[in-house]
Structure 1
Amino acid sequence: MTSETTNATAAGGWTLGDLRVNRIGFGAMRLTAGADGTPSDRDRAVAVLRRAVELGVNHIDTAAFYFSPLRSANELINTALAPYPDDLVIATKVWAGRGPSGDWRWASPAQLRGQVEENLRQLGRDHLDVVNLRVPRSKATGSVAEHFGALAEIREAGLVRHLGVSNVTPGQLAEARAIAPVVCVQNACAIGVPRVEQEFIRACGEQGIAYVPFFAIAGRGREAGVTGDEHDPVLTVARTHGATPAQVRVAWTLGLGPHVLAIPGTGDPAHLEENVAAGALRLTGEDMTLLSGVAHV
């Protein structure tokens, strides 16, 4: 499918609290380094960000821990886009963090304010639009109340506008909502996602909460990106629509419900155009059924 004239508005929009965003957004994780770990080209990364906004993207997902030895996603966003457009929504995440050498560190509730302030400094802002509490895998079934309560206090102090949760279960979402409003859930989700997660996606929609899938294109490749051969159903649907497999994967996530927001990330200008164009791809019920039959790996 062509990407020459497609704008991010083609996918429609959703409201995060009081912030209206287009359903096709941009994930900043892949801006900082290539697949082999080498630092990205700075000028190219800046150009990708500026082009994304030109194409109507007004929802960017980032984090202070998105950095490589020579690049910081937040700093690239600041360089490329400040002063920021009035309608641009930048979402970031805390609890997870990395030290200068790249080692992972998980903040205590008392340390969350420092992580919020780190994002503020890097982005050059006096408040953050959306902050997701990123739950570590080690807490997959644990309580999030202490950390989310601390984040809610930071919101009350005016440093954060809206709160979300990431890498959570339905129970953890309910626990967070009992403390403060939650505008979005950000979980790993791609074709082949288990049925229990699909049910969670539907439940978020029923509660008026945005569901923001990450690794929607990479799938099981996760941080490493797309790996291995593509599933036959994805290739079949791609051929039918004259689209790329990546576009089919983005369109599939958007087809899960009007509350689902895509944030495909790339450091490649051509891939950016393709990803945004995927917002205009309308899969049929038969397409969705075929793709939903892909086994979870």
Structure 2
Amino acid sequence: MRTLGIGPDGRSPGVIGLGCMGMSYAYDPGGRDDATSVAVIHRALDLGANLIDTADVYGPYTNEELVGRALAGRRERAFLATKVGFVTGADRLRRDGRPEHVRAAIDASLRRLGTDHVDLYQLHRVDPRVPLAETWGAMAEAVSAGKARLLGLSDVTPDQVRTAQAVHPVAAVQSELSLWTRDRAAELLPFTAREGIALIAYSPLGRGFLAGRFGSADDVPDGDYRRTNPRFLPENFTANLPLAAGVREVARRRGITPAQTALAWVLSRGAHVLAIPGTKNPRYLTDNTVAAGIRLDDADLALLDALPEPAGARQ
């Protein structure tokens, strides 16, 4: 597995990691299988996909507990990342960047994860009610206390990164990035490259759409949040099929899978880019990691870059 050094000590996770959210939150609730998910995490470590990404709000809390069980006896092999900044409300998530919340949340996350530190502690979303410098200052306290090695941000602007950088170094920025969502990271990609900040691409497979998992909107499982995602609604799903077809065409020409094609495109966006596709399937995990070694040629990239933007709002 090709690796990328993150932070001043250059600890090097694989450029393909593992997003763990879908193992216990949001996706296909009827297909939850903790034993298989634990086995997938173990296999990810064996394959060098050691950036294991979770968050306290996934579940809530149960995903961190699952990851903690999976890493028992294997913690030193993982580049472990979790997040703070969301709390569950009566019927939706709300942001909470208060310093007192951050201080309590890191301790709770460490208990659930069964470790004394995380490698990357990330602000899930900026809370508009709390100055970012105050939230980031509390997260920097976690680094000073040895509870986190590095800090990161998710879904932010370059100006917000600069605000955080003035308080404590930003090691990584998460952003949705895929052929399904190309606009979100357009400004962040060159900015993070110049600043020496890793960009971690989440949902690099377009929430499964680019991998060809779904033939129609009806294939999305009951209770799966994608049922309400505008891009998966029947009228938009049909309009988006040419996008998936273009990915399949490049995959066919190269003799690789659509998922590998989509992931290779993400990694082609810059030498500082990592991707964290999520899966509960050991075979998909193995296929995904192969993408770290695939280089698309200019013709492939031109075809993929020319694909239409998806129909339906991002959610």
Question: Same fold per TM (> 0.5)?
Answer: yes
Matches within 5 A, 1:115-264: 115-136=105-126, 139=128, 144-194=132-182, 197-218=185-206, 224=226, 227=232, 228=237, 229=241, 231=243, 232-264=245-277
**Are the structure 2 counterparts of residues 188 and 195 from structure 1 closer, same or farther at C-alpha, using a change threshold of 3 Å?**
closer
- Rounded to whole Å, the distance in 2 between the matches of 1:230 and 1:264 is 22
- Rounded to whole Å, the distance in 1 between the matches of 2:183 and 2:286 is 31
TM superposition shift of 1:189: 1.2
- Rounded to whole Å, the distance in 1 between the matches of 2:72 and 2:255 is 37
**Are the structure 2 counterparts of residues 54 and 180 from structure 1 closer, same or farther at C-alpha, using a change threshold of 3 Å?**
same
**Are the structure 2 counterparts of residues 139 and 239 from structure 1 closer, same or farther at C-alpha, using a change threshold of 3 Å?**
farther
Would you say the 8 A contact 2:25–2:63 is kept in 1?
Answer: no
| Residue identity matched to 1:13 | L
Matches within 5 A, 1:41-120: 41-67=33-59, 72-98=62-88, 103-107=92-96, 108-120=98-110
- Rounded to whole Å, the distance in 1 between the matches of 2:281 and 2:7 is 28
Q: Secondary structure at the match of 2:66?
A: helix
Superposed CA offset, 1:165-194 (max 9, x none): 111011101111111001000011111544
Would you say the 8 A contact 2:175–2:184 is kept in 1?
Answer: no
**Are the structure 2 counterparts of residues 194 and 31 from structure 1 closer, same or farther at C-alpha, using a change threshold of 3 Å?**
closer
**Are the structure 2 counterparts of residues 29 and 192 from structure 1 closer, same or farther at C-alpha, using a change threshold of 3 Å?**
closer
Superposed CA offset, 1:211-255 (max 9, x none): 001111125979639954351331221111122222111111111
| Residue identity matched to 2:151 | L
Unaligned runs of 5+ in 2: 210-223, 311-315
- Rounded to whole Å, the distance in 2 between the matches of 1:210 and 1:51 is 24
- Rounded to whole Å, the distance in 1 between the matches of 2:128 and 2:247 is 33
TM superposition shift of 1:296: 3.2
Pairing 1:14–2:5 present: yes
- Rounded to whole Å, the distance in 2 between the matches of 1:269 and 1:220 is 15
TM superposition shift of 1:273: 1.1
Q: Secondary structure at the match of 1:129?
A: strand
- Aligned-pair identity in percent equals 34
Would you say the 8 A contact 2:124–2:153 is kept in 1?
Answer: yes
**Are the structure 2 counterparts of residues 194 and 266 from structure 1 closer, same or farther at C-alpha, using a change threshold of 3 Å?**
closer
| Residue identity matched to 1:73 | N
Q: Secondary structure at the match of 2:6?
A: strand
TM superposition shift of 1:29: 0.6
| Residue identity matched to 1:16 | G
- Rounded to whole Å, the distance in 2 between the matches of 1:33 and 1:192 is 21
Pairing 1:26–2:39 present: no
Superposed CA offset, 1:117-142 (max 9, x none): 11100111111211111115x749x9
- Rounded to whole Å, the distance in 1 between the matches of 2:183 and 2:282 is 34
Provide the aligned C-alpha RMSD in A: 2.7
Q: What is residue 5 of structure 1 aligned with on the other side?
A: none
Would you say the 8 A contact 2:180–2:206 is kept in 1?
Answer: no
Q: Secondary structure at the match of 1:97?
A: strand
Q: TM-score, normalised by structure 2?
A: 0.81
Unaligned runs of 5+ in 1: 1-8
Would you say the 8 A contact 1:163–1:182 is kept in 2?
Answer: yes
Q: What is residue 292 of structure 2 aligned with on the other side?
A: 279
Q: What is residue 38 of structure 1 aligned with on the other side?
A: 30
| Residue identity matched to 1:187 | S
Number of residue pairs matched?
A: 283
